[in-house]
Structure 1
Amino acid sequence: MTSVTPNIVLIRSSPIALWGIDSQERLRRAFKRAGIAVTGQSAGGGVAGTEQPTLLIRADHVYEESVIRALIRNPSHLLVTDAGVPVAAHIAPGGDIDAAAALLQSEATVASGALPAGLSTVVDPAALASTYNHALRKRARPYVLPLTPETVPAIEHRMFHGAYKGVTDFVTKYVWPVPAMAVTRWCARLSISPNMVTTVSFLCVLAAMSLFWHGQFLAGLAAAWMMCFLDTVDGKLARVTLTSTKFGDVFDHGIDLLHPPFWYYAWFVGQGAVIGGSGQDALQTAALWIIIAGYVLGRGQEGLFIWLYRIEIHTWRPIDSWFRLITARRNPNLFILTIAALIDRPAEGFLAVAAWTIVSFLFHCWRIAQAGWQRMMGHRPCSWLTEPLVTPEAWRTERRGGSGLRGSGVP
């Protein structure tokens, strides 16, 4: 590990753009996000033996951000593709930068045998960077891919799906990807920023709330689903173009966190229900408080699990990740309300959301209790997504009672 910021030098540039950004600019943004400015464009010419670490990197390849960050942290490492072609070198102080640059300029595969001074270890992306992305709650093999006109569609597809959260609701996971990728590409080509998309999303929040309030449920649902769709697009656009900002993150997540209770209250009012009334009004009022309390307590459960066990409740075991698909959060609740509105039963849909909120809350209470019991037994709960990726053969062996890869007696 190094505490000295390396000098970044790009070599073998490429004019090919991904998501409207050429590879040199993409690398500059990636290093800037890691806190380092790119200071050079080419290597060579009397720089061997410098006392500052130097990171040479080919700009005719595409690198996942986790690989970039891992490269910065690991001096004396030569990064090769899965095919063994050298693409980046973090050269320790005093190393031979000219020889390392010549190695990167070649297309020959390389082993650990004879490396230039300043390099001692040859690694591929999977050996260098983690397969677990905590922010996106997913496991995936980190990539380094050659950039050619022929590979652009496949690379953009991989980058987009690599920006997708692995643990989320069923609408976001299965319905949005195809249209969201098309809209994300369109926004990137037109230089539409993620914050612009988030602003339109916020306007949809206000439109949906107003329409629900006035009992125009189907029109309100159209605005609500548009907001949910754009909420997917803005995050993916920020990740694939490396343009996320602290303001954008607060703006986006602030809207996500605050708007659902306002929608539920507007739906309650739109039915003509009155707090403090009797009969049907009393039933709807109870449903309103259950939904809002369930939303707040559900967020509290998630925060409690992180505080207790340092992992998200939805990433503990596979059953938790599966239940996240349908748990009583915004999109699954909107799905219930949409079915109810289509059959002209908005009040019954509201009661169904309340019932599902109770089920979801009790499920997570059960999981928190199980995690506490596991810790009492001396086993610290850890995310199944941090476990090694296994082959289908190894998984079948484990299922037959062989290797015990899951590492937990809890499902």
Structure 2
Amino acid sequence: MTESTKPAVAMASVGDNPTPIWGLSNRERTRRIGAANGLVPQSDSGAVIANDDFAWDPAWFRHVLANPGMVLTMGGVPALAHARTPAEAEQVCAAMAESRALAGGDFEVIAYESGPTIENKQLRKRETPFLMPLTPETIRTIERASYFGAYKGVTDILTKYLWPEVALVLTRIAAKLGMTPNMVTAIGAVMCVYATYMFALGNYWTGMAVGLVFMVLDTVDGKLARCTVTSSWWGNIFDHGIDLVHPPFWWWFWTTGLVYWGLELSPENFVSIMIAIQGGYVLQRVIEGVFMRRNGRMHIHVWRRFDSWFRLITARRNPNMVILFVSMLFARPDWGIVAVAWWTVVSCAIHAIRLLQAEIVRGRDGKLTSWLSEG
């Protein structure tokens, strides 16, 4: 039976919790998560039932949805369940409404207190997503867990360590103001274009300041989309399209802006630098795409511990901006762009070597396993 021919599963909530999460009622959040996963208001083919007294990571929802008859509990009380029949749904709803344990029934009960783990398919790792009672006292803790659980992929050093707390505050503000992720992306796009213009004029400090705002907003829009369950096809295209297209323009206009500092490169050096940076940027993306295609959508940066570490500093936009920032401390933006070119070449070579090594290992062992799933 294909996904398109499977019977539709219903989504239901029990209770009426007045405590909002990310500016939404818990019932509305649950409805959005259900709709995003193809659930319908009513069905004769089972139902996923949520207890409105609890907030949970969407990963739990997907896990319970994939396992009919499963019940996730806290303190014995069902928090999320997949009832296969109307009779089972009635049992679950009664237990949730009365805040008690299930009495009888052929369910697979998973107690959250036992520390159950489920697979994060994106990172090939097992983890225990959050589940908490939703009260005014726990809302900030829940929103924090939801924010940091929205995307756990390996990333660059700035996104991982410098601005997560700032982006959390901005995500909360955006949610309370009712802003959509596309609004945040649009503001970021304006900042991105303005930074490019500043680089072209040699106003590097202003460009970097504006670029920093854009880079933080680039985190906020994705977090807001996941936390408020408002991801969309257009939003993904809008956000990722800007991310993919703008870096080459930044490096080009940074280089042409050197003329305002009396540090312009010779035509020969300009061509060499651009071939290294622009060609390396494209080639590195191609290598990453080939790796994913050859290894079941597993990203190159989650293969071995070294790969995850190298993602922190590899020649992407944010690490390159660190290089350029350091060069500006010495008032030598030309050194910075030359260093970016060399680092791009080095990063490209390392990625190519890792792709070759992956092919050797896959040929020997049949498949690759992410280090995140080990142990």
Question: Same fold judged by TM-score > 0.5?
Answer: yes
- Shift in alpha-carbon separation, 1:137–1:282, aligned structure 2, 3 A: farther
Alignment of 1:197-216 (within 5 A): 197-216=184-203
- Shift in alpha-carbon separation, 1:264–1:139, aligned structure 2, 3 A: farther
1:29 to 29, 32, 47: 32
In structure 2, the residue matched to 1:160 is: 147
2:364 to 359, 363, 377: 377
Q: Mark the runs of 5 or more structure 1 residues left unpaired by the alignment.
A: 40-49, 388-404, 406-411
Local SS of the residue matching 1:360: helix
Query: 335-344 or 235-244: which moved more?
Result: 335-344
1:101 aligns with 2:90: no
In structure 2, the residue matched to 1:91 is: 83
Local SS of the residue matching 2:152: coil
CA-CA distance at 1:51 after TM superposition:
5.1
CA-CA distance at 1:96 after TM superposition:
4.2
Q: Deviations over 1:337-367 (max 9, x none)?
A: 1111232101110110011111111111221
In structure 2, the residue matched to 1:11 is: 14
- Shift in alpha-carbon separation, 1:164–1:101, aligned structure 2, 3 A: closer
Query: 310-319 or 90-99: which moved more?
Result: 90-99
CA-CA distance at 1:129 after TM superposition:
7.0
Contact 1:202 1:227 in 2 (8 A): yes
Local SS of the residue matching 2:7: coil
Q: Mark the runs of 5 or more structure 2 residues left unpaired by the alignment.
A: none
Local SS of the residue matching 1:38: coil
Query: 296-305 or 285-294: which moved more?
Result: 285-294
Contact 1:138 1:165 in 2 (8 A): no
Local SS of the residue matching 1:244: coil
In structure 2, the residue matched to 1:59 is: 52
1:305 to 291, 296, 311: 291
CA-CA distance at 1:374 after TM superposition:
1.0
CA-CA distance at 1:127 after TM superposition:
8.4
Alignment of 1:222-301 (within 5 A): 222-272=209-259, 280-301=266-287
Distance 1:5 1:127 in 2: 30
Distance 1:204 1:192 in 2: 17
Local SS of the residue matching 2:128: coil
Contact 1:31 1:38 in 2 (8 A): no
Query: 167-176 or 144-153: which moved more?
Result: 144-153
1:219 aligns with 2:206: yes
Give the structure-1-normalised TM-score.
Answer: 0.83
Alignment of 1:367-406 (within 5 A): 367-387=354-374, 405=375
- Shift in alpha-carbon separation, 1:247–1:279, aligned structure 2, 3 A: closer
Local SS of the residue matching 1:351: helix
Which amino acid is the alignment partner of residue 318 of structure 2? N
Contact 1:132 1:386 in 2 (8 A): no
1:74 aligns with 2:67: yes
Give the structure-2-normalised TM-score.
Answer: 0.91
- Shift in alpha-carbon separation, 1:103–1:335, aligned structure 2, 3 A: same
Please identify which structure carries the higher helix content. 2
Identity of aligned residues (%): 38
Distance 2:104 2:165 in 1: 44
Alignment of 1:345-356 (within 5 A): 345-356=332-343
Which amino acid is the alignment partner of residue 46 of structure 2? P
In structure 2, the residue matched to 1:130 is: 118
Larger radius of gyration: 1
How many pairs does the alignment contain? 367
Bigger relative CO (Cα 8 Å, ≥ 6 apart): 2
In structure 2, the residue matched to 1:148 is: 135
Distance 2:126 2:339 in 1: 34
Q: Deviations over 1:72-116 (max 9, x none)?
A: 2222222213x4332233222353433332222333445xxx523
Q: Deviations over 1:295-354 (max 9, x none)?
A: 000001101101111211001011100100000000000111111123210111011001
Alpha carbon RMSD of aligned pairs, Å?
A: 2.4
CA-CA distance at 1:35 after TM superposition:
1.3
Which amino acid is the alignment partner of residue 86 of structure 1? P
In structure 1, the residue matched to 2:310 is: 323
Distance 1:14 1:279 in 2: 63
Distance 2:107 2:151 in 1: 35
- Shift in alpha-carbon separation, 1:165–1:99, aligned structure 2, 3 A: closer
Distance 1:76 1:349 in 2: 59
- Shift in alpha-carbon separation, 1:365–1:102, aligned structure 2, 3 A: same
Query: 183-192 or 4-13: which moved more?
Result: 4-13
Which amino acid is the alignment partner of residue 266 of structure 1? F
- Shift in alpha-carbon separation, 1:360–1:106, aligned structure 2, 3 A: same
Contact 1:88 1:104 in 2 (8 A): no
Contact 1:13 1:58 in 2 (8 A): no
1:115 aligns with 2:84: no
Distance 2:203 2:354 in 1: 38
Q: Deviations over 1:240-289 (max 9, x none)?
A: 1111111000000000001111111111111139xxxx974422331121
Local SS of the residue matching 1:145: strand
